[in-house]
Structure 1
């Protein structure tokens, strides 16, 4: 996890009626850049929590996740694969915060890693299916996904943010940073210059950016953070997926989700829905900044 900072940037969100089967089209809260605590805002943010027991000692490991359907989350493939099978089946849960100070959990059921994990890079995505068959009161809304027809909205959007969890205060709290888009060549030059590992760890497609606040020097990115944009109507769309990287004031790579949208749709579609056209979301190209 990462340290947090305080800030004055305020994001405004419009109130729109939603349901558990629709993406998170609105929230009524105001969020300042930095740590915004155990808020119910961004209830699609979560962590995959794994517990192991050794001689009465409990060890807990966490990795960030993002809810993309009512029962599927996006996770870092390498983090998921490293979970021993017996622990995944018995002691792995997805945890979310649907309201201030409230935790909601669901057991992990199965997972699928993107095929490139086996051959190209460890920093790619996995889809984890949650066991929610017996849930009668589902309190979450998946994050909105953009349309595959959108053309590089992260380049044109001035409203890029990275959000996830921090444990700086010894409890899980949510945090958000304003991100400035950079050309890929800036990240490539920086990673080469400082000697950061790239072979088998560089995402095949990525967005480059850095935290814009001058005080953002004491934080680092974690696996599973969400790179999002609210370019119109306060609706947040998932554009990228965070991987463990350098300090947030430095240029950093985030997995670009656009090339993965067809795979995400195919992996999360039920067999009886295969003949229906997948609904990826709205086209970001048609959105105007607020």
Structure 2
């Protein structure tokens, strides 16, 4: 990686031991940032740290279940204890425990989805702001989804939670700007990760077939690295006049005008 836009920055990325979150953490580290990664499970943290050590990145890993206030506090406390500051927060944690017709989604699933995907995202941001406002050029990125614009039939409740994140990003623009913090988002399309496996697996040429079926103009599924590139731009000085926006990383899938 020849671009080094984030030298001297400290970033914290939730749900970052696999998939999109892992790629984001890796890209930020490649660009010079010191990065704190997290997962709900210690085993996941250990595996990710082993992978990062091979690349000699300055990365610290810890356990964090974002829906638990004590875990969020510990995540931020350990970030400050380890690196002394926080410049970048990437809220990536999300779950989708229900799969099928939205009308069949039980109340318990709605509660879990909104607790993790929306409520926890808001409180993590709120709790991080006192640290972020101390740094010049700090920023937040919220990971939403193309499903927030065009709900997917089999993950309806999850889609609604991602729509809420689009609104949350907009709602936080002025409160964050008053403290010198930019906030933006990305909305990934169908990305080849374990999380979205049910959406793209199933055949020899699944990448093209699934993406085309979903209305993807580029005719393929995306990669986690392509999402990470958008995040790296948003948290860099190259995006210094960008706030309140969500970049759709979905190969041309329908979103907004």
Normalized per residue, which structure has more strand?
A: 1
Normalized per residue, which structure has more helix?
A: 2
Using structure 2 for the length normalisation, give the TM-score: 0.32
Using structure 1 for the length normalisation, give the TM-score: 0.29
